[in-house]
Homo-oligomer: A and B are copies of this chain.
Amino acid sequence: MTLQQQITALAKQARQASRALARLSTSEKNAALLAMADALEAGKDALLKANAQDMEAAVQGGLSAAMLDRLRLDEKRIGAMANGLREVAALADPVGRILDERTRPNGLRLQKVATPIGVVVIIFESRPNVTADAAGLCFKAGNATILRGGKEAMHSNQAIADTMMKAAKLPEGAIRLVPTTDREAIKLLLSETQYVDLCIPRGGEGLIRAVTECSRVPVIKHYKGVCHVFVDREADLGMAEDIVMNAKVQRPAVCNAMETLLVDRAVASKFLPVITQKLREKKVELRVDEETRKLIGSTEAKSATEEDYFTEYNDYILNIRTVADAKEAIAHINHYGSAHSDAIVTSNEGRAKQFLQEVDSATVYWNASTRFTDGGEFGMGAEIGISTDKIGARGPMGLEELTSYKWIGYGTGQIRT
């Protein structure tokens, strides 16, 4: 078989499996998820063995310590995957929800009902736990999943997928890894518009751009998080301090952490010396505009460049910019931000509403930290990521966001006149 034939066969089989998965009841799906969880724990020796193969090749290949850590499986991480599947089993089934209902004057009753999407391709990087997490969520939403992980995790991913499939006795193709590390395979897979309904790339900017470039199927992008906090002239400055510190240092490596602090000129001279002192205590490197520099009397802080304002640091680095007012803050966010999560701190309702309406981001906050953008924090349970797109899903993407819908018309012989 050529690679093209292999990929078409794989996609077609996933489509067939998706038809079978769409017919499963909630209790059948939950039983399968629990069986998968138990099997991962019971099969930990096989998983650790497969992972050891990957780790050995990775060490020989000279992967960084950080990469090796991401790749590593151990008993605790296997337990976390299993518990993740159990949590998904406990969540409400998103399929079959009635989203709308109406009866037309001719008596035709219409229902808009949540359905599985069908076949979802997940492309991800080196963490093998994504195999279980993503496939579990997609499965609960009634979808077949085709996974393509990093080549360094190939054996681990395969062992996890095999264990899940075998335990749950799923139809062939329900959860499948792309069986090659050939890059051309992704392009071919994402051209199978007849069999593939959606692609969700999870990873760095480069991966997401490459997938978007080559895909003929819809892609929901989980793009970078260049998040902002704007401290308005009418902010409670104590609250602003708490929110700024939380958004920056509570966990800087994640996408909903703040990368740029915007401060209203009217309170800048009062707020900036205090907050920069606190940030420095936490070893946060500051990159500032000239006005901010004057106010904090610092010569050591770097000057923020245009590029800095576009950058997701995921680290103990923060841009600070003094702005004229809320309007300038909104313009900055809409220009430099990544439409992920942005917050205003103010006690002025009018300006808060303006900010919430005009900042064109997936999630906007009034007097709360950007760090809340998360499926768990939103009460959705697990999530597959945070969409920065506007079509299909926006913000945290949980089970409901892994469904589509159909319209059902219940008639008694209605015809159109």
Contact = CB atoms under 8 A, between A and B. Distances in A.
Given A212-B193, A391-B198, A408 B364 contact: yes
B22 A413 contact: no
B363 A406 contact: yes
B198 A377 contact: no
A242 B413 contact: yes
A358 B19 contact: yes
A196 B104 CA distance: 36
Nearest to A415: B246
Contacts of A250: 415-417
A59 B290 CA distance: 65
A357 interface: yes
B19 A368 contact: no
Interface in A386-417: 389-392, 394-396, 404-417
A392 B217 CA distance: 13
Q: Which of A198, A242, A390, A417 neighbours the largest number of chain B CB atoms within 10 Å of its CB?
A: A390
A282 interface: no
Contacts of A369: 411, 414-416
Nearest to A361: B406
Given A218-B392, A404-B390, A408-B356, A239 B371 contact: no
Given A360-B118, A390-B404, A372 B216 contact: no
Contacts of A110: 378-379
Nearest to A368: B411
A365 interface: yes
A366 interface: yes
Nearest to A371: B416
Given A358-B19, A408-B356, A243 B413 contact: yes
A409 B220 contact: no
A306 interface: no
A358 B390 contact: no
B372 A416 contact: yes
Q: Which of A117, A239, A334, A360 neighbours the largest number of chain B CB atoms within 10 Å of its CB?
A: A360
Interface string A337-358: 0000001000000000000111
The 5 closest A-B pairs by CB, nearest first: A368-B411, A246-B415, A390-B404, A371-B416, A391-B392
Interface of A: 19, 22-23, 102, 104, 108, 110, 115, 117-118, 193, 197-198, 212-213, 216, 218-220, 236, 239, 242-243, 245-247, 250, 334, 343, 356-358, 360-369, 371-373, 377-379, 389-392, 394-396, 404-417
5 contacts: A104-B379, A115-B360, A220-B391, A243-B415, A371-B415
Given A22-B357, A372-B414, 12 more contacts: A104-B378, A104-B379, A110-B379, A363-B409, A365-B411, A367-B413, A368-B413, A371-B415, A372-B416, A391-B392, A391-B404, A396-B407
